[in-house]
Amino acid sequence: MPTIIEKLAENLQLIYRKAIDADETITRLRQDGKGKFVAIFAADAGFSQQSKFFKPYVEELAKDISELDGDALSQQKTELASIVKKMEMLLATLAQFQQSVK
């Protein structure tokens, strides 16, 4: 499981960099009177966070990954599915966002 956690951490770094760029774009859009959404993800998307920016979602994912390392193997397998789903949603949403602001 340590190699899986390392790969998750590597992907998290990629997501973090994209999220910082996206959050800067969101800030600019809001300053221009655009981007008037309440939250990036719906309440039932699996995140406990509700934010107009990506960074809180990335922080939640980072916390989930760090907690995964200390969990028992059976619990790791259960949590892994949730972490991968969140990661996929973040990557897909970030990619869609980047395409829409071009």
Domain range summary for the chain, segments of one domain joined by +: 2-100
Q: What is the pLDDT of residue 99?
A: 93
pLDDT in tens, 36-56: 888 999 999 999 999 999 999
Would the pLDDT of 87 be above 90? yes
Model pTM score: 0.89
> CA 13, CA 78: separation in Å to the nearest integer?
23
Both structure tokens of 65: 């990954």
Per-residue pLDDT band at 71 (split at 50, 70, 90) = low
Nearest residue to 19 via CA among 44, 47, 40, 46: 40
pLDDT of residue 101: 85
pLDDT confidence band for 18 (50 / 70 / 90): very high
For residue 80, which of 66, 62, 68, 63 has the smallest C-alpha distance?
68
Q: Whole-angstrom Cα distance, residue 53 to residue 22?
A: 8
81 within 8 A of 9, measured Cβ to Cβ: no
Higher pLDDT, residue 83 or 102 = 83
